[in-house]
Amino acid sequence: MGRISIRDIHNMKCRGKKISAVTAYDYTSAQIVDAAGVPLVLVGDSLGMVTLGYEDTIPVTMEEMLHHSRAVVKGTNKALVILDLPFLSYQINTGEALQNAGRALQEGGVQAVKVEGGQSIVSTVKRIVEIGIPVMGHIGLMPQSVHALGGYRVRGQGKEEALELVHDALALQEAGVFAVVLELVPTPLSQLITKRLDIPTIGIGAGPYCDGQVQVFHDILGLYTDFLPKHTRRYSEGFKVFKSALETFTEDINSNSFPSEDEGFSMDESVIQEIEDILA
């Protein structure tokens, strides 16, 4: 059985089966996510903050996205892998957008790309879809536009902004996206959008009525403790578990209990004796 396809994802919505998605950035985490049976793996440009230490997603380059995507693809066998096209890789002109979307598949090895924006990028989305590249949309809070949006905030709580998001979602569907991410959108609005769309909605901070949910690998497993978004549920205390293991590792080295004789390799004692005789 091959990888999950965009048709499989569409059929999940038709059957009322919820879609899980995880954002992962490397080979090892991708292996774990794929083994858990998660159908969608997103190589998010949030890797800039989570793995590279940037303040936001703006500095992330196409080369960085391709580097991480190759690793994630190698770690998966079943999941549909989607690459976030980073800031300025698709906004300047359609030609560059097509080239970078093509690089995502050719060089990154992914099966689809994700872009942020609604009605303003419909023409670009159409062209990418027309050349045979599956596209996932992303509306609501759009991290690449965080400065223009006035920070990380819920979008669509007022009438005008809510109506704009509905029109954005419908326009993206018409342009040919196979799914759309709704980020930090009020629950009633995400429910309305989900009912009106034939394509799946994938929520993050958008309530329980979306067709699926996406969360970051590191958030789910509790791999850092400095920040936990309201929309995240921590399923493991990974930071504490790994910290404890590393502390024990250091203690074992200091007490000379690691490595033991059993964790080393032997050789013929006569060889050592010969070497000592030579060196004498």
Residues tagged active-site? 183
235: CB partners within 8 A, 6+ apart: 220, 221, 222
Alpha helices in the chain (DSSP H): 6-15, 27-35, 47-50, 62-74, 94-106, 122-130, 159-175, 187-196, 217-220, 238-254, 269-279
Q: What letter does residue 43 receive in the DSSP assignment?
A: E
SS3 sequence, 150-178? Answer: CCCCCCCCCHHHHHHHHHHHHHHHHHCCC
Instruction: From residue 98, give the alpha-carbon distance in Å to each of 102, 105, 119, 126, 249.
Output: 6, 11, 18, 10, 49
41 three-class SS? strand
> Cα–Cα–Cα angle for 120, 110, 87, nearest 5°?
35
* Distance between CA atoms of residues 193 and 209, nearest Å: 10
Closest CA to 85 of 115, 119, 111: 115
77: CB partners within 8 A, 6+ apart: 3, 34
* Distance between CA atoms of residues 170 and 196, nearest Å: 8
